[in-house]
A and B are shown apart, each in its own frame.
Chain A
């Protein structure tokens, strides 16, 4: 029987083991409560696609960011919180249900202002609980970009969705869709063709059968853009979308580009349209006063015609149909029905959407390339909302400072660097500007305090001497005999791992400088396909020429010098070539033919030269500019002769890959930056898990692993810099560990940092503040199962096993990380009328080894950690010993005093009892009481409060202050503290003497009275019991 039982259990456990092995190497639980932190920056924020206000509550405002998700404000835009962090972060439109705006929210993903760097959406979402939970609405998976959602105010189950659709390919998913059952079923009710999408949809709220739709024929490639075609037009339906008529009366015909339309909320007959025609006489703003039947051309000013693909939003004042605002380079406002316009006030350029407060048209919100701005005076002056960390990094890098800095360039917001941690958190003022325009790569010189940065297309590459505050432009330039250099909009640069002053840049050639960019040598032939048909950017744009340089193609995009051999350099191009030199550029091998499973000419977005072997490298490819969103990543271990894919089916089929980062220790640990978030593998790419702990599925453009800290630093295109601190536990994770009930991970010794924490949070009330790296000891363990039933505790013990403090354990399945701030306990303070704030100072432990003891049910698990002093400290070991000894002495003294006061209090309580109940003992008891009270008044505060009505400090306060001062200091004990200690020791000795004297005199009489009358003595706990905590 027994045997049978045992066999059964074994079978059961082996079953679990098998199951665990199958499931163990992926899944959310792998990461437990390991979580990302966001450091912004928010001071320049990022591109906004859409702003939506609440129909009845002026405090509530929603923002759809181009790459940073949906944010909600409940305070008129002073602060925002993200509400869409589990889904694609590129947002086209946010719409509230007119009848139930607090609960029902629609979000169409995929930004609609179609610049070269736009991200992609993945469908339509609906929340029925104010944004807490979202459901994907089936049928829009391939919509890529949703421009419009309109809802019938009388029947909010009737919804129309305008799909702009794919930017880089044909798509039959474009068109206007209609549901009459709140989104369960849909019909496509207007479709023109695979290259013509919906720019705007309008509904007449007074007669919801009347609809307008503007259609736009457009296409982007990696090397050009084409806006315009015969299919672009405005359509109108008067039967709720059953039939549509193309509006032609007085309107321009033939090839048209993007068309933005808007209806005056106060008079739905009035329709405004901005039409891209390419002809001065018809370009710009049109107005109809009869619901679209006839039209008048009003204005072709720059502000009304600039870059229609980027700025076509018109907004009409909710009350006055003649106040019209339009997005643009500066944004424009008309107060005469569109005849004349003036610029909106100063704010970040590139205005994509403007909305007016529902009650007060003086308040205007504007969505720009640099976040949300707010005007209080009808658009003359604007202030930035400081709370939206939507910065769009193209690239980041890190240095080795303490704390390390993060460097990077942003879409339309220049180049920056800032600390990964700062006192009080990473605030706006911690960031430093190091470049103008669109910023891309920013690199720190390996040994000097010099920063390289660049603006678009290497128009400027700066070498910035931080100490001297001097800037030199150092970009490679053509010399006699050179062809014209083609630099990518996001031109690659790299610094050498071997020669500190060596600096690489890529045009179609690889350029090398050994003097920090002063002079350059071309060390390669043209490494691209040099396909001339992809080099005609002067004619890009379609009806409106748009040759910003953003479409420059057939260029080098990534440069990777091996950290094992300076002669090995990998190069990837935007037109699909992978090239390698192993002799410092003398000869090059084109490896493109050896790639497996990569469609021809697919953009080589990043090559990572491995530290695990000279011939080992990773390359990631992305084809989104041809409409191919599939993830591609390859690994070679033989200098590119053969490659194998490291992509598994765990990765979203549309999460195209922009970056890969290998771990420097464990070759099987890899991080993949995709358009839809971060993926991690711990088995070399067989299984991948999406990292979702405080990490939205935002586009991760670049990843770096900070070597000293093992922090994974991500440059995201929409949510700024996101960091996962110390990924080393992932290095150690194996199937064996995952099958243990509890496993502690090895951690490096922890440093008790002594840095000053002066910060001052002035002005940060409504500002985004980046989260700091936790500098406490991090105790990391794995739990096979979440702890829910029974007791679980963690305590820190010294190496002899004495308890030092207890910690709050994490109980998640997977990895748990908890902090210990190196503190033991605070001393027990004497009781008084007021609080002694020095009692908040806990004792810090000395450096050394400590035990972490985890108790779970009946099981106990133990693990040793090591604590170090700060190497940057100015204190010697001897001085430290003195400080620690004195701290301990004062700690004990504070508790001695606490116990003495406790004894006094208990004795006084007893004396009071006698005074009240035993007339015979009253006199002696009163004497004792009074003597003790006189003493007590010198020991502790007996009047006043904890603020400005406080009494003069007594011995407890003086002693406590000295304790707190010495204990919290990292430096040697000052002469002043030593002298003060002598004084306080003496005062305390005197007090003890006084107490003794009282107890020998008045106390004796009192006690003998108690004895004679058989009255119990005061119940005084032992000192040990009194000091027991908890």
Chain B
């Protein structure tokens, strides 16, 4: 009889929960609450993702590290070579040139924009008010066949080819469980400018009490294909030597005084 009661209550709760969440803040609170608690999210200092990307029949191992103090590194390995992407030590953003296999710095605008991106460690919604961001509940929308809350997030402006533009993204939270399942953002420059990038999140799994999406599919809205990243392991607060983020000083990369 006790089980029945508990079940009934659980059933009622699920039925009621979506109705009661009416503001963006309530939805975000539910999200953090359902995925481990906001204080636990805030306690993380660094994170390491291990996973694989499927590329033309090859599964390439990838590794990503981010720290709360704004450093990051992503690495893919292929034929024993390491390709670095989005490596950032707080000042310099660099990656591997695939022709020469040498490290190259990103342009100033990209670096500036990245600095504003990487300061949203784990989620831009953590302490978003302190960061000066705004959120707005646009309404309910069916995406991936599923009813979601569509939340608009406005962050620090980005620079696009010399002009400042607003940084707006849309986050779709499943009304049933309050986790984001899709993120959309307009592509501001490059050949896909004007199109909307769409990131689909799924395969949420628990890591030390927190829930992370283990499957990330990035593509362009309305376009076929996309690139899937499958996470195989997440390490919270990994031990990281800061040297890995620094732009390497080598024979071919002498220190250039700035």
Given contacts A12-B11, A826-B57, contact A812 B224 (CB under 8 A): no
Q: A8 and B7: CB pair below 8 A? A: yes
Report the minimal beta-carbon distance from B244 to chain A, rounded to whole angstroms.
Answer: 21
Q: How far is the CA of A823 from the CA of B138 in the complex (A)?
A: 42
User: What residues of B have a CB within 8 angstroms of the CB of A173 in the complex?
Assistant: none
Q: A8 and B4: CB pair below 8 A? A: yes
> Within 8 Å of chain B (Cβ to Cβ): is A99?
no
User: What residues of B have a CB within 8 angstroms of the CB of A786 in the complex?
Assistant: 144-146, 174, 181, 202
> Within 8 Å of chain B (Cβ to Cβ): is A790?
yes
Interface residues of A in 788-815 (CB under 8 A from B): 788-792, 805-808, 811-814
Write the chain A residue with the least CB distance to B51. A1030
> Within 8 Å of chain A (Cβ to Cβ): is B186?
yes
Q: How far is the CA of A32 from the CA of B181 in the complex (A)?
A: 15
Mostly, the A contact residues are loop
> Within 8 Å of chain A (Cβ to Cβ): is B113?
no
Q: How far is the CA of A813 from the CA of B145 in the complex (A)?
A: 5
> Within 8 Å of chain B (Cβ to Cβ): is A556?
no
Given contacts A8-B7, A786-B144, A1029-B59, contact A130 B224 (CB under 8 A): no
> B144's contact among A57, A103, A812, by CB below 8 Å, is which?
A812
> Within 8 Å of chain B (Cβ to Cβ): is A665?
no
User: What residues of A have a CB within 8 angstroms of the CB of B7 in the complex?
Assistant: 8
Report the minimal beta-carbon distance from A1024 to chain B, rounded to whole angstroms.
Answer: 16
Fill in one digit per residue for A765-777: 1 if any B CB lies within 8 Å of its CB, else 0.
1000001001000
Given contacts A694-B222, A786-B144, contact A132 B152 (CB under 8 A): yes
> Within 8 Å of chain B (Cβ to Cβ): is A210?
no
> A812's contact among B1, B145, B160, B191, by CB below 8 Å, is which?
B145
Q: A132 and B146: CB pair below 8 A? A: no
> Within 8 Å of chain B (Cβ to Cβ): is A5?
yes
> Within 8 Å of chain A (Cβ to Cβ): is B38?
no
Q: How far is the CA of A679 from the CA of B3 in the complex (A)?
A: 45
Write the chain B residue with the least CB distance to A32. B145
Q: A57 and B163: CB pair below 8 A? A: yes
User: What residues of A have a CB within 8 angstroms of the CB of B102 in the complex?
Assistant: 945
> Within 8 Å of chain A (Cβ to Cβ): is B240?
no
Q: B193 and A791: CB pair below 8 A? A: no
Q: How far is the CA of A577 from the CA of B1 in the complex (A)?
A: 69
Given contacts A80-B194, A789-B205, contact A806 B59 (CB under 8 A): yes
Report the minimal beta-carbon distance from A264 to chain B, rounded to whole angstroms.
Answer: 29
> A789's contact among B1, B145, B204, B226, by CB below 8 Å, is which?
B204
Q: How far is the CA of A39 from the CA of B195 in the complex (A)?
A: 17
Fill in one digit per residue for A124-149: 1 if any B CB lies within 8 Å of its CB, else 0.
00000110110000000000000000
Total chain A interface residues with beta-carbon distance under 8 A: 70
> Within 8 Å of chain A (Cβ to Cβ): is B133?
no
Q: Which of B58, B78, B144 has the largest count of A CB atoms less than 10 A from its CB?
A: B144
Spot the interface stretch: B64-72, B122-130, B165-173: B165-173
User: What residues of B have a CB within 8 angstroms of the CB of A80 in the complex?
Assistant: 194
> A788's contact among B52, B166, B168, B204, by CB below 8 Å, is which?
B204
> Within 8 Å of chain B (Cβ to Cβ): is A918?
no
User: What residues of A have a CB within 8 angstroms of the CB of B52 in the complex?
Assistant: 1030
> Within 8 Å of chain B (Cβ to Cβ): is A946?
yes
> Within 8 Å of chain A (Cβ to Cβ): is B98?
yes
User: What residues of A have a CB within 8 angstroms of the CB of B188 in the complex?
Assistant: 74
Given contacts A132-B168, A791-B214, A812-B145, contact A1 B1 (CB under 8 A): yes
Report the minimal beta-carbon distance from B98 to chain A, rounded to whole angstroms.
Answer: 6
Q: How far is the CA of A834 from the CA of B100 in the complex (A)?
A: 9
Q: A790 and B205: CB pair below 8 A? A: yes
User: What residues of B have a CB within 8 angstroms of the CB of A32 in the complex?
Assistant: 145
Q: A129 and B168: CB pair below 8 A? A: yes
Fill in one digit per residue for A258-282: 1 if any B CB lies within 8 Å of its CB, else 0.
0000000000000000000000000
Q: A132 and B205: CB pair below 8 A? A: no
Q: B186 and A946: CB pair below 8 A? A: no
> Within 8 Å of chain B (Cβ to Cβ): is A72?
yes
Q: How far is the CA of A831 from the CA of B78 in the complex (A)?
A: 9
> B101's contact among A771, A788, A791, A946, by CB below 8 Å, is which?
A946
Q: A835 and B78: CB pair below 8 A? A: yes
> A825's contact among B4, B57, B145, B224, by CB below 8 Å, is which?
B57
> A28's contact among B142, B205, B224, by CB below 8 Å, is which?
B142
Spot the interface stretch: A183-191, A582-590, A836-844, A928-936: A836-844
> Within 8 Å of chain B (Cβ to Cβ): is A895?
no
> Within 8 Å of chain A (Cβ to Cβ): is B81?
yes
Q: A81 and B138: CB pair below 8 A? A: no
Q: A29 and B146: CB pair below 8 A? A: yes
Instruction: Give the A-binding residues of B (Cβ under 8 A).
Output: 1, 3-4, 7, 11, 52, 54, 56-59, 61, 78-81, 98-102, 138, 142, 144-146, 150, 152, 160, 163, 165-166, 168, 170, 174, 177, 179, 181, 186, 188, 191, 193-195, 200, 202-205, 211, 214-215, 217, 222-224, 226, 228, 232
Q: Name 12 A/B residue pairs within 8 A (Cβ), A-sorted.
A: A1-B3, A4-B1, A8-B7, A129-B152, A132-B152, A786-B174, A788-B181, A819-B224, A834-B101, A842-B57, A945-B100, A947-B99
| Known contacts A811-B202, A814-B145, A831-B79; 6 further A-B pairs (Cβ under 8 A) | A29-B142, A57-B163, A788-B179, A791-B203, A813-B145, A835-B78
